[in-house]
A = this chain, B = another copy of it.
Amino acid sequence: MGITFESLYCDIAGRTGKLTAGNKTIKTPALLPVINPHLQIVTPREIRSMGVEALITNAYIFSQSRQYRQRVLDEGLHKVLDFEGLIMTDSGSFQLSVYGEVSVTNTETLAFQRDIGSDIWVPLDIPTSPGSDHETAGRELAVTMQRLAEAKKVFGKDAPIAGPVQGGIFTDLREQAGREVTDLGFTFCPIGAVVPLMESYRYRDLVSVVMAVKQTLTPSACVHLFGAGHPSMFALAAAMGCDLFDSAAYALSAKEGRYLTTHGSFKIDELADLPCACSVCRSHTAEELRTAPDRERMLALHNLYVTVAEISRVRQAIFDGTLWELVDERCRGHPQLLASYRALLDKTASLEKSDRVSKRRFFYRGTESCARTEILRYQQMLPRLKLGASVLIAFDGGARGEYDDTLLFKPPFGPYPKELKETFPIGQSEIPEWDDAMVRTGCRGIRCLMESHPGSRFVISCRPIWEKIIREELGSVEVRYDEI
C-alpha cells in the first residue's frame, strides 16, 4: 500500500494530481481542514458536503482524551469522526512545539495512528522555530531524521508514513533534509515549521525554505505545507510545488471574530458589507452576522467556503496553465506577498524546468509578467532558429525584400518568425499597449538571437520612441525608422 502520488497537469512548479493512501484517493492540490474532536464547530460530514475529500486531525489529542481514546481504538477514526474520506493524523509535534514536551514516543504515536485506522501517519518530528540558530536547527533536524529512520524500520517501508522536512530557516539544512527523506524512501513530505513565518508575513523566507526543499526532494513526492491555511497564499505555495495544505485557520479565525478572504482577513466588526458569494454571506447582512447567536459557526462556515473555493481556483488555474496569473493576483494583496512573488520570479531559471510547454493563454498583468517562465523558455528557444545572412526585426510588421529573413516582434517575448504566429506563447498571449518594461524584455530576446547567430547582420525597424531602450539593451545595433 503506502502512499502514492500521480501528477496530472503541471504549471510553473505546481501540479494537479492524485494522492492515494490505503484505499482513499483525493485530488490535489487539496486542503485538509483540521478537526479537533472536542470542538467540532463544523462537522466532518458538513465539510465533506462542501467537496472536501480529506481532513487532518490530531492523534495526540485522541490518545490523551478520556472521552475518545478507547472509543477511537475500538471503532476507528473514520467512524468516530463520521468521515469516509482520507484522514491524516498529526503526531503531537505541534504540542511539542508549543509546550516543549509530549508524553508519547515516536513509535508510540505511530502505532496509535496505525491502530485507530489513520490513512496517513506522521512521526514525532521536531518543528524548529525560525528563531533558532543553525546549530540548534541542525541538532533538531538530526533527531527528526533519526525518528524518520526509526519509523521506516519499525513499521516497514510501505507503511503510510509522512516524512516531514525540517531545518528551520536554513536553506542548506532544508536541502539536506529533503535529500535525506528522499533517500529514506518517503513519497509524502510535509514541510514543517513554517507557520511562524506565515504568521509574521515572512513570505520571502517561506519562498526560500520551500524552494530549497523542492530542490532536493524527488519531484514525484507529494508535498504538504504544514499549517498553511490562509487562502491568500495557496497560489504562491502551489506554484512552488506544494500539493497539500491544512489549517485550523477557518475555526481559529472564527473564534476570534475574523473573516477570511483571498485578499486578507477582516475583523467582523470592521465589515460594512459581506464581500463574498457564499451561502452565509448571501443570507446575512454584516450586522446580522455580527450579532448572530451562531456567529462563530457562521464565520467558520464562511471561512471554509472561501478556503475550499480557493483550492478549486488553484486547481483550475493549473489545469488551464494560468497559475502565474493567479499568483500575480493573490500576491499583490499584501506588500510582503508581493515581495515573495518577486523573490519567486528571481528563481525563474529553476522553475522553468518543470513548467509546461503550452498553456491556455498568457495575459500580461504588469512589469512582473516580464519575468515569467514562459518568456525565459521562449527566449531559450530562439538560438534554434535558422537565419540567413541578413535579418530584419520589424516591430510594426511588414517584410522587406532586401533581407534574407524578416522576423516580427511581440513584447515581452521578442522576435518571432511568422511560422510561430499561431503557436504558444506568441499566438495565445495578450498584451496591453506596449510599455517600456515589456519592450526591454523583448529586446533581451533579440539579444539572445544576435548572440546565437553571430554570422547574421541584424536590423531593427521600429518607431523612434523605442530607440532609447534598444540602445540600452542592444548597444549599436542597426535601427531604421520606417513608415507604418
Measuring CB to CB, which residues of chain A are less than 8 angstroms from any residue of chain B?
A: 16, 49-51, 263, 270-279, 281-283, 285, 302, 305-306, 308-310, 312-313, 315-317, 319-320, 325, 328-329, 332-336, 338-339, 342, 363-368, 430-433
A277 with B366: in contact, given A50-B282, A316-B271 (CB under 8 Å)?
Answer: no
Contact of A432 among B263, B317, B338 (CB under 8 A): B338
Among residues of B, the one whose C-beta sits closest to the C-beta of A308 is B282
Among residues of B, the one whose C-beta sits closest to the C-beta of A432 is B339
- B316 touching A272 by the CB < 8 A rule? yes
Contact of A312 among B51, B273, B310, B432 (CB under 8 A): B273
A282 with B273: in contact, given A332-B366, A333-B329, A366-B332 (CB under 8 Å)?
Answer: no
Question: For residue A278, which residues in chain B have a CB less than 8 angstroms away from its CB?
Answer: 277-279, 282
Q: Complex Cα distance A290/B180, Å?
A: 45
Number of this chain's copies in the complex: 2
- A432 touching B335 by the CB < 8 A rule? yes
Contact of A277 among B305, B336, B338, B368 (CB under 8 A): B305
Among residues of B, the one whose C-beta sits closest to the C-beta of A278 is B277
- B316 touching A51 by the CB < 8 A rule? no
Question: For residue A281, which residues in chain B have a CB less than 8 angstroms away from its CB?
Answer: 309, 312
- B368 touching A366 by the CB < 8 A rule? yes
Q: Complex Cα distance A363/B336, Å?
A: 10
Contact of A275 among B276, B285, B316 (CB under 8 A): B316
Contact of A309 among B275, B329, B365 (CB under 8 A): B275
Contact of A273 among B263, B302, B319, B328 (CB under 8 A): B319
Nearest Cβ on chain B to A442's Cβ, whole angstroms: 15
- A338 touching B364 by the CB < 8 A rule? yes
